[in-house]
Amino acid sequence: MAGDRALIVGCGDIGLRIAERLRLHEVTVIGAVRRTEAAAVLAQRGIEPWLVDLDAPAASPPLCDAVYWCAPPPADGETDSRLRGLLPRLPPLRQGLLYISTSAVYGDCQGRWIDEAEPLKPGTARGRRRLDAELALRAWSARTGTRSLVLRVPGIYGPGRLPAERLRRGDPVLHESESPYTNRVHADDLADACLLALERGEAGAAYNVGDGAPTSMSDYLLRCARLLGLPEPGRIALAEAPAHFSPMLRSFLEESKRLKVERLRALGWTPRYPNLDAGLPSCL
For the chain, the average pLDDT equals: 97
Residue 58 inside a domain? The answer is yes
Residue 53 falls within a domain, yes or no?
yes
Give pLDDT, residue 90.
96
Overall average pLDDT of the 154-158 stretch: 98
Would residue 220 count as lying in a domain? no
pLDDT at 94: 97
Residue 119's pLDDT is what?
Answer: 99
Quick one: pLDDT band at residue 59, thresholds 50, 70, 90?
Answer: confident
pLDDT of residue 230: 97
Is 88 a domain residue? Answer: yes
Beta bridge partners of 148: 97
pTM of the model: 0.97
Pairing assessment for the beta strands 96-102 and 113-114 based on DSSP bridges: unpaired
249 pLDDT band (50/70/90 cuts)? Answer: confident
- Looking at the DSSP bridge assignments, the partners of residue 258 are 113
SS3 272: coil
Mean pLDDT of 101-123: 98
Looking up residue 68, the CATH number of its domain turns out to be 3.40.50.720
Answer whether residue 46 is part of any domain. yes
List Cα–Cα distances, 233 to 3, 86, 125, 166, 218, in angstroms. 51, 43, 29, 10, 9
**Closest among 160, 170, 174, 151 to 101, alpha carbons compared:** 151
> At a CB cut-off of 8 Å and minimum separation 6, what does 262 contact?
115
Question: According to the model, what pLDDT value does residue 185 have?
Answer: 99
Is 252 domain-assigned? no
Pairing of strands 155-157, 184-186: parallel
Task: Answer yes or no: is pLDDT of 250 > 90.
Answer: no
Q: CB-based contacts of 179: which residues, under 8 Å, 6+ apart?
A: 173, 216, 217, 218, 219, 253
Whether 240 is in a domain gets the answer no
Q: Please determine, for residue 200, whether its predicted confidence score (pLDDT) is greater than 90.
A: yes
Q: What is the pLDDT of residues 12-28, one digit of tens each?
A: 999 999 999 999 999 99
d(CA 178, CA 188): 30
| Res 49 pLDDT > 90 | yes
Confidence of residue 216 (pLDDT cuts 50, 70, 90): very high
pLDDT score of 22: 98
248 pLDDT more than 90? no
Domain extent at residue 95: 5-160+184-211+257-273
**Percentage of the residues of the chain whose pLDDT score is greater than 70:** 100
Beta bridge partners of 102: 153
pLDDT of 2: 82
For 75-131, the three-class secondary structure string (H helix, E strand, C coil) is CCCCCCHHHHHHHHHCCCCCCEEEEEEEHHHHCCCCCCEECCCCCCCCCCHHHHHHH
Count of structural domains within the chain: 1
Is residue 1 scored above 80 in pLDDT? no
Q: What is the rounded average pLDDT of the residues 261-284?
A: 98
Is residue 166 in a domain? no
